């Protein structure tokens, strides 16, 4: 039995032109820009507004706690006289800790991405 090998033509080679390579590179560049620069712009705006809000809130809370301290020192001066002169400071410190605990417990934002509204 004589076996003969069938001669098959090799698969035709495909050549990619320079324009296809250029289109692929442009597509990759556009994808990288979309996936990196877009979210970074949103993150910058998110961080800027967050920092501005935190500074305004912090300054307001400093003034509020200072007002509480001065109120305790002036209106209850007879109560916190002598050995109790430290009490207005302790009460103000406790108020600061409580306000901080409430603020930390209210932080809910987990991601920078916007959620699509449900329809």
Digit-coded pLDDT (tens) for 44-83 = 888 889 899 999 999 999 999 999 999 999 998 888 888 9
d(CA 61, CA 83): 28
- Predicted local confidence at residue 46, as pLDDT: 81
Would the pTM of this model clear 0.75, i.e. be above it?
no
Q: Which residue matches tokens 């509204």? A: 117
**Residue-range domain boundaries for the chain:** 23-105
Q: Would you state the torsion angle of the CA atoms of residues 89, 94, 99, 100, taken in this order, to the nearest 10 degrees? A: 100
d(CA 100, CA 106): 10
Q: Which residue matches tokens 């990288």? A: 32
**Nearest residue to 103 via CA among 60, 46, 71:** 60
Interacting residues of 89 by C-beta distance below 8 A, sequence separation 6+ = 69
Q: What value does the mean pLDDT take over residues 99-119?
A: 75
C-alpha distance across the termini of the chain, in Å: 74
């Amino acid at each position: 039995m004589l076996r003969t090998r069938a001669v098959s033509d090799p698969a035709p080679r495909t050549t990619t032109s320079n324009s296809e390579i250029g289109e692929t590179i442009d597509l990759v560049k556009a994808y990288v820009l979309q996936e990196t620069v877009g979210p970074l712009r949103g993150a910058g705006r998110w961080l800027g507004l967050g920092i501005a809000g935190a500074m305004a809130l912090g300054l307001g809370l400093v003034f509020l706690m200072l007002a509480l301290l001065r109120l305790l020192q002036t209106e209850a001066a007879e109560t916190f006289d002598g050995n109790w002169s430290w009490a207005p400071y302790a009460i103000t410190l406790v108020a600061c800790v409580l306000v901080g605990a409430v603020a930390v417990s209210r932080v809910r934002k987990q991601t920078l991405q916007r959620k699509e509204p449900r329809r």
